[in-house]
A and B are shown apart, each in its own frame.
Chain A
Amino acid sequence: MINIEPVILFHLFGIPVPDFVVVIWGVMAAVLVFVFFATRRLQAVPRGAQNVAELMMGFFEDLVKDMMGEPGLMFFPLIATIGIFTLLLNLAGIIPFVDAPTARLETTFALGIMVFVVSHGYAIKRKGLGTYLKGYIDPYVFMLPLNIIGELGKLLSHSFRLYGNMFGGLVMTFVFYQLVPWVVPGVLNVWFGVFVGVIQSLVFTMLAVAYIQVLAE
């Protein structure tokens, strides 16, 4: 059943906890357990879990280094977290009876706001408030509203793209579930979860780096 309103499972300290947040906690717990085992016996020649962890970190490190150069490594932890977080949340949709948490606007918009604040904050810190604000009336003064809308548009399109892909995939599998239960939706769900999920997570991460970089210089 696809519901737009969040399904509140229980209240924690008076704060309602919807179902997709519990799934996010599950994913976080799984990552913690994996990292715990990956870093038990650190060897020079990595094997098994440690190898996988190093591959992931290496991938995101190269991604950041290619796009932002050496000073950009300051954002490596943030970008690696966004990358792994969105990747695992997209893949969490494959588990039967578990909807991908990124198929909800709350999750993706929260990530989008995070990237928005980081990119603008870093631009202000690096260029100083004056030049940052002057950037909005770049070619001509009357470009001000356009530039502001452009910036907000980036935030909206960034988070809406991930949400739209995963939500569309969810509804497609739900529609097929009505027609042919348990055969076609399984394959479709894996397709939307894996192929679309991995690419959208990569696009989300690379755009996050691009937004930070384009505002910084």
Chain B
Amino acid sequence: MSTEQSYPVGEHPSLPPPTSEVGIIGWVRHNLFSSTTNIVITVLTIYLLYVILPPLLNWIIFDAVFSADSRDDCRAIAKAGGHELGACWAFIGKRFEIFVYGFYPVEERWRINLSFFLMLAALLPVLFDHIAYRKQGLWFSLIAPFVIGWLLLGGMGLTPVSTDKFGGFMLTLVIGVTGIVGSLPLGIALALGRQSHMPAMRMVCVAFIEFIRGVPLITLLFVASTMLNYFLPPGTTFDLLLRVLIMVTLFSAAYIAEVIRGGLQALPKGQIEAADSMGLKYWQSMRLIILPQALKISIPGIVNTFIGLYKDTTLVIIIGLFDPLGMGRASLADTKWQGLSTEIYVFVAIFFFVSCFSMARYSLYLEKKLHTGH
């Protein structure tokens, strides 16, 4: 040994890191001021925030008016307060219920509220595994969709409500959640079918996926709203919303299938060989070995597709359904509130952002939870 050690070999204790590496000062130095480029970017960012934030906050909060009866009223209140008018949120406040419930009969709206809570209760055991009574909860999740369907549509003791009364956020949730819940199993089946050893099965799946992926969603929605009448026997009525639900589900299933196929292909061949060599049957291998891993790899892509699907629900405006965006545009026709499109669009944007951001965060949580490597 040429160098002298202060401790015998193997007995060097772990020392605390130097103070410049830890704490707030360490963090700031590492992340904000580590190099010239970094310093320039930090300073520029602070300047941009200084320019943008105050007017934005003024418009959204400090100069905004939250209750008024018309746009002129808004202006008057702002003037009385001695500032310029920011956002006139009073408009949204007055329209809030129609944004949420659409044209659903006022006296029946409790059914939507109840459905919403049932949906949350049904999602909990599916999304999180460390909750009490999860097993019973999953049974509830299985029957909840039917209960919710009954609540929303009525019949069997409840006043029937036709689906053309559906609208607003409630419509977004109905289409979005149905699409998500329906397209995942269908997508898994398509992905497995595409990898099947049976040529007929494979061809059907490939044809379906490629056809659906190759056609814009709007086209499919138009087909759903008009063309189906030509194919179906005359006299059959087929609810417009149901057609939309089917089309949206099929559309996103095709994308999900491709995302999952990516996950399936990323698995080493040894996994299925090990399962085979132990005598597991095809469906056992898929359920216990292959899909848990493939789905885990595919989480970012799956959630990405879901977020896309959720936002694409706004396209139903084109075939005459009133989602929040459609509701907002209809509200703009009100002469009392003319010219407040910014408020409407910001409000709808916030709603979509909150929904989609939650999905994104959940996907990160799931990835972290399922990480079993080093």
- Chains A and B come from one and the same complex: no
